[in-house]
Amino acid sequence: MRVTLLSCPIDILSREEAVGRIRQMLQTKGVSHHLLALNSLKVVRALKDQAFADYVRQAELVYADSAGICWALRFLYGIRQKRIPGVELVQEALGLAHEEKKGVYLLGASPQVIEATARYVSRQYPGLHLIGYHHGYLSDTEGKEVLRQLKELSPDFLAVAMGASLQERWIERIRKEVPIPVCMGVGGSFDILSGRLPRTPAWMGRMGLEWLFRLARQPQRIRIMSGLPYFIFLVVRAKVAGPKTTEEQLARQKGATPPAPDRLEKG
Ligand code: UDP
pLDDT at res. 243? 62
- Ligand 1 atom with the shortest distance to the CA of 41: 24
Q: Model-level pTM greater than 0.85?
A: yes
Ranges in the chain, pLDDT < 50 = 254, 256-267
pLDDT at res. 260? 43
Whether ligand 1 lies within 6 angstroms of the CB of 164 is answered as yes
| Span 190-239, pLDDT tens digits | 999 999 988 888 888 888 888 888 888 888 888 778 889 999 999 999 99
Distance CA 94, CA 103 (A): 10
Residue type, 71: W
Kindly provide the b/e burial profile for residues 172-200, where b requires at least 16 CB atoms within 10 angstroms of the residue's own CB: bebbeebebbbbbbbbbbbbbbbeebeeb
The per-residue pLDDT of the chain, averaged, comes to 90
Rounded to the nearest whole angstrom, what is the distance from the C-alpha of residue 252 to the centroid of ligand 1?
A: 36
Whether ligand 1 lies within 6 angstroms of the CB of 53 is answered as no
pLDDT at res. 246? 55
Q: Taking the mean position of all CA atoms in its chain, how far away is CA 160?
A: 10
Nearest alpha carbon to residue 111 among 186, 190, 171 = 190
Distance CA 202, CA 195 (A): 16
pLDDT at res. 266? 35
Angle between helices 50-58 and 166-177 (to 10 degrees): 60
Give, for ligand 1, the residue of 87, 191, 194, 225 to mutate: max count of ligand atoms closer than 8 Å to Cβ.
191
